[in-house]
Amino acid sequence: MAEDKISAEVLDRLYATVQARKGADPETSYTAKLFHRGTAKIAQKVGEEAVETVIEAVRGDTAAMASESADLLYHLMVLWADAGLEPSAVWEKLAQREGTSGIAEKNARKA
């Protein structure tokens, strides 16, 4: 469980860093450059990183998959910040689903 807490803290710190760079100079901050380019570009980057993560999973390269997953999480955090979505809202959704069958959860969304 301690590892889960460390992971969550890393993600929360990453989100705070992303938020802090929202108004930074796009010439000196990649995060600020993404915000400057807008939601469509940020979403595109999330998609690209998701595909790259999948490719590494299919290849069976777990080290590369870990790296691509980190890129994916970073870009997802930028997308959340752009949309005004706090990570706590996502964590809450995950907590609500914890212990629930994936099939049951999907069926509940259809109702």
Question: What CATH number does residue 79 fall under?
Answer: 1.10.287.1080
- CA distance linking residue 35 with residue 42, whole number of Å: 7
Nearest by Cα to 32 from 81, 103, 70: 81
Residue 111 lies inside a defined structural domain of this protein: no
Residue 32 lies inside a defined structural domain of this protein: yes
- CA distance linking residue 63 with residue 68, whole number of Å: 9
pLDDT for 8: 73
Tokens of 32: 């600020």
Residue 91 lies inside a defined structural domain of this protein: no
Residue 66: domain span: 2-86
Nearest by Cα to 75 from 53, 59, 56: 53
- CA distance linking residue 101 with residue 103, whole number of Å: 5
70-97 confidence digits (pLDDT tens)? 999 999 999 999 999 999 999 899 898 8
Residue 65 lies inside a defined structural domain of this protein: yes
Collapsing DSSP states into helix, strand and coil, what is residue 89? helix
pLDDT for 97: 86
CB atoms within 10 A of CB 92: 11
pTM of structure = 0.84
Low-confidence ranges of the chain (pLDDT < 70): 1-6, 102, 105, 109, 111
Residue 21 lies inside a defined structural domain of this protein: yes
Residue 16 lies inside a defined structural domain of this protein: yes
CB atoms within 10 A of CB 31: 21
Residue 101 lies inside a defined structural domain of this protein: no
Residue 97 lies inside a defined structural domain of this protein: no
Instruction: Give me the number of domains the chain comprises.
Output: 1
